[in-house]
Each structure stands twice: as C-alpha cells, then as structure tokens.
Amino acid sequence: MVINAKNVTVTGKKAEQKLYRHHSGFPGGLKELAYKDVMAQTPEKIITHAVNGMLPKNNTRKFRMSRLKVFEGPEHPYAPNIFQQVDINQMK
C-alpha cells in the first residue's frame, strides 16, 4: 500500500523531459504525456507504472499488480486493517 503519491518528486529535468507513452492500437495512435501532466491528473499512475516496470515480465505480474494499492493522499479505506504501525526511523 502506498499513500501520498502526490508528494513524489524527481531529480534533474525529468519533470519536463520524461514522457509516458501508450498506443491505442490504431494507426497513428501513439499518445504521449509529460510527467508533469500525469502528476497533475493522476499521480497514482506514476507509482503504478514504475512498479509495473520493475516486476518480472511473466504470468505473476498481473496478480502482483492487483495487490498494489496506491492513494493520492494520506486517506485510505484500509486504516481499520492496520494493527501495527512501523516507524522506519526506529529500525536503524
């Protein structure tokens, strides 16, 4: 589960230069969106796309991606299911 997807930052000129491409399947159907446009519309897609690219390209990827939950802000419907909060700073 990932929360606060709207707070993702990138270094350098990636915000202006990074492109997200997809194809509709029709001739001339290549669509390109800049990072800053995707971030303004749906910041969850940036995390989802990054994780999807890191997973192995086999039959288990679809199942693993179905378990990933990404939320734009700190609010999420799974708060009652969390029994233990882990603080990363205390683990060091």
Give the chain's domains with CATH numbers: 5-72 (3.90.1180.10)
59 or 92: which leads in pLDDT: 59
Q: What are phi and psi of 28, to 5 degrees?
A: 75, 20
77 DSSP assignment: T
Query: What pLDDT, on the 0 to 100 scale, is given for residue 83?
Result: 76
Q: What is the pLDDT of residues 71-82, one digit of tens each?
A: 999 888 888 887
Query: What pLDDT, on the 0 to 100 scale, is given for residue 11?
Result: 93
Distance between CA atoms of residues 86 and 90, nearest Å: 8
pLDDT interval class at 92 (50, 70, 90): low
pLDDT interval class at 70 (50, 70, 90): very high
Look at residues 75, 70, 31 and name the one whose alpha carbon lies nearest to residue 47.
70
Distance between CA atoms of residues 2 and 9, nearest Å: 15
Mean pLDDT of the chain: 91
